[in-house]
């Protein structure tokens, strides 16, 4: 095609964002273009910064949970669990087995939601609207599940320090099974629409390549890292909760391009379904909260009827949970990668610091290397497959 050497050309700076119909998430990319080729891209994040970390310093430990919902807002239960695990590490307590199982189920359901939200809009930006709607349909069933259980679809605030806000119903596991039965064929359909499709392959294969070495250097984790060929999943490398009790595989890509990222996510969805089927068959009976009057609110009956319950309830709410002074970092394998919570306590009922290591924020530095030299229209699927969730990136 036309080569720039035939004409006198200038490079143009094109502003994509912060709101742009083809990117999902609030981000501003200033692409310096030579014709259609991207010569440089300046990525500006922070448009969704809501001062989560600063707010956490002025509220009590338990009040942070609604804020964590709004970090990675497409997989909120994972954020709840991550934060709770970090504080429980600092408290030095172990939650009961039943709670671990329910939390794991919640995490895997959230992972499904997240991957559906990545693949769907990713495909939609390339024009595959039907695949997007199938993803939304599947996600809606999952949200119905979450709504039945926690009372809200997208902002559940379901986890508590030392346990959960409420126990699951008796038919919860059966319901999860039914939803999985509906989702599995839908994932297969999405697969059929996209995976072998030549148009899709043309747009995704060989685009946005990042080598394994580069991926590690840039701090990538999660599906992006695995698509580049690095075998690293915190659920296998440092199993937490009971991930060492369930059988699942971790899909690894080969070329680190957008297509591999898509395939990794699709396969991870299938593996999440596999994990979920094992978990729901196995949830043990038992209490859902650790037994500790310094951490867990007493049963409502005790609060209404006994003075000890009322006093306990009051002290936990007005003082907050007294977390011993110290610091703890707890990382989980969230849908996007390593989601870390670094909490510091000064012994009082409010966090001294609650830092979130959001994988999306780290991944944004890799975007530049992925799109350099590619066409402008390749920025769209690359950014889509990065799955930058604004709440997690900017906090």
Partner 1 sequence: MKYYIDTLKGVMVTTRHLVKNVLRREKAGVVTVEYPEKKLTYRPNFRGLHRLTRRPDGTPKCVACFMCETVCPAYCIHIEAEESPDGRIEKRPKVFVIDELRCVVCGLCVEACPEDAIRMDTAVHPPPATGRDEFLYERDVLMSHKGAGPEPPAASGGGRRR
Partner 2 sequence: MTTAAAPKEVTLTIDERPAKVPPGTTILEAAKTVGVRIPHFCYHKCLSIAANCRMCLVEVEKSPKLVPACHGRVAEGMVVRTTTPKVKKAQQAVMEFLFINHPVDCPICDQAGECKLQDYFMEFQKQLSRFKEEKVEKAKAQPIGPYIVYDAERCILCTRCVRFMAEIAKDPQLAPVGRGDRSCISTAPGRKLDHPYSLNTVDICPVGALTSREFRFKMRTWFLSNADSICTGCSRGCSVVLQHHQGTAHRYLARENPLVNDSWLCDDGRLGYRRINDHRLKDAAERKGNEMLTLAYDEAVKQAGQTLLEDRGSIGVAISPQVTCEDAFALMRFCADILGVREIHLTGRADWAPDNLLKRADANPNRRGISEIAAALGMKVFDVHALIKAAQNGAFETLLAVGADVPDDIPEILDLKKFETVIVLAERTRGIFEVGDLAIPLAVHAEQDGTMVNAEGLVQRVRPMGRQKNRAVPAWKALSDVAGRMEREFRFAGPDAVFAALAEAVPFFGGMSHASIPAHGAWGAGAAPPERKPLCTPR
Of 179 and 379, which has the nearer Cβ to partner 1? 179
Of 144 and 319, which has the nearer Cβ to partner 2? 319
Q: Is 19 in the site for partner 2 (CB under 8 A)?
A: no
CA 128, 130, 133 angle in degrees (round to 5)? 115
Of 68 and 258, which has the nearer Cβ to partner 1? 68
Q: Is 287 in the site for partner 2 (CB under 8 A)?
A: no
Q: Is 347 in the site for partner 2 (CB under 8 A)?
A: no
DSSP 286: S
Least distance CB 293 / partner 2 (angstroms): 5
- Sequence-distant (≥ 6) Cβ neighbours of residue 112 within 8 angstroms: 138, 139, 142, 183, 269, 272, 273
- Sequence-distant (≥ 6) Cβ neighbours of residue 201 within 8 angstroms: 259
Within 13 A of 317's CA, how many CA atoms are on the CB side?
A: 9
Q: Which does 347 bind (CB under 5 to 8 A by kind): partner 2, partner 1, none?
A: none
Report the 10 Å Cβ neighbour count for 195: 14
What is the Cα–Cα distance from 312 to 293, expressed in whole angstroms? 7
Of 222 and 309, which has the nearer Cβ to partner 2? 309
Least distance CB 315 / partner 1 (angstroms): 11
29: tokens are: 């990319």
- Sequence-distant (≥ 6) Cβ neighbours of residue 310 within 8 angstroms: 303, 304
Helix (H), strand (E) at residue 378? helix 376-386
Q: Is 293 in the site for partner 2 (CB under 8 A)?
A: yes
Sole binder of partner 2 in the list 151, 286, 294, 373 (CB under 8 A):
294
Q: Which does 311 bind (CB under 5 to 8 A by kind): partner 1, partner 2, none?
A: partner 2
Q: Is 127 in the site for partner 2 (CB under 8 A)?
A: no
Helix (H), strand (E) at residue 33? strand 28-34
Least distance CB 304 / partner 1 (angstroms): 5
Least distance CB 341 / partner 1 (angstroms): 17
Does a cis peptide bond (omega within 30 degrees of 0) precede residue 160?
Answer: no
What is the Cα–Cα distance from 66 to 175, expressed in whole angstroms? 25
Q: Is 306 in the site for partner 2 (CB under 8 A)?
A: yes
Alpha carbon 5 to its chain's center: 45
Q: Is 319 in the site for partner 2 (CB under 8 A)?
A: yes
Place of tokens 């996209």: 194
Q: Is 315 in the site for partner 2 (CB under 8 A)?
A: yes
Q: Is 325 in the site for partner 2 (CB under 8 A)?
A: no
Q: Is 308 in the site for partner 2 (CB under 8 A)?
A: yes
Q: Quick check: helix, strand or coil at residue 125?
A: helix
Of 140 and 291, which has the nearer Cβ to partner 1? 140
Question: Which of these segments, 97-105, 177-185, 212-220, 318-326, binds partner 2 (CB under 8 A)?
Answer: 318-326
Site for partner 1, rule CB under 8 A:
59-60, 62-67, 69, 130, 147-148, 150-152, 155, 157, 165-166, 189, 192-193, 196-199, 297, 300-301, 303-307, 310, 313-314, 317-318
Q: Is 208 in the site for partner 2 (CB under 8 A)?
A: no
CA distances in angstroms from 318 to 51, 281, 306, 315, listed in the order given: 23, 40, 18, 5
Interface residues with partner 2 (CB under 8 A) are 293-294, 298, 302, 304-315, 318-319, 322
């Amino acid at each position: 095609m036309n080569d720039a050497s035939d004409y006198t050309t200038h490079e143009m700076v094109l502003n994509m964002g912060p709101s742009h119909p083809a990117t999902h998430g609030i981000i501003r990319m200033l692409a310096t273009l030579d014709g259609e080729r991207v010569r440089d891209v300046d990525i500006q994040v922070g448009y969704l910064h809501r001062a989560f970390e600063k707010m956490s310093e002025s509220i009590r430990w338990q009040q942070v949970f609604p804020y964590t919902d709004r970090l990675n807002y497409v997989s909120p239960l994972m954020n709840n669990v991550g934060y709770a695990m970090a504080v429980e590490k600092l408290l030095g307590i172990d939650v009961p087995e039943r709670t671990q199982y329910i939390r794991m189920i919640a995490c895997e359901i959230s992972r499904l939601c997240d991957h559906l939200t990545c693949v769907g809009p990713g495909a939609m930006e390339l024009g595959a609207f039907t695949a997007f709607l199938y993803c939304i349909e599947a996600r809606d069933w999952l949200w119905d599940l979450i709504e039945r259980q926690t009372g809200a679809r997208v902002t559940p605030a379901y986890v508590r320090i030392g346990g959960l806000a409420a126990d699951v119903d008796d038919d919860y596991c059966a319901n999860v099974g039914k939803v999985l039965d509906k989702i599995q064929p839908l994932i297969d359909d999405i697969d059929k629409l996209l995976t072998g499709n030549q148009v899709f392959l043309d747009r995704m294969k060989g685009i946005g390549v990042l080598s394994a070495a580069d991926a590690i250097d840039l701090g990538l984790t999660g599906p992006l890292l695995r698509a580049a060929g690095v075998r690293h999943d915190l659920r296998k490398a440092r199993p937490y909760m009971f991930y060492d009790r369930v059988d699942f595989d971790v899909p690894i890509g080969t070329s680190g391009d957008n297509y591999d990222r898509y395939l990794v996510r699709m396969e991870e969805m299938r593996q999440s379904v596999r994990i979920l089927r094992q978990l729901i068959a196995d949830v043990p009976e038992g209490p859902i909260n650790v037994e500790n009057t310094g951490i867990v609110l007493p049963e409502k009956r005790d609060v209404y009827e006994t003075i000890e319950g009322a006093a306990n309830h009051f002290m936990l709410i007005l003082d907050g949970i007294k977390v011993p002074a110290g610091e703890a970092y707890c990382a989980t394998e969230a849908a996007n990668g390593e989601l870390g919570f670094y909490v510091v306590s000064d012994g009082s009922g409010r966090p001294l610091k609650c830092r979130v290591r959001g994988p999306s924020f780290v991944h944004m530095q890799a975007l530049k290397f992925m799109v350099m030299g590619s066409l402008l229209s390749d920025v769209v699927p690359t950014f889509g497959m990065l799955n930058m969730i604004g709440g997690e990136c900017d906090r």
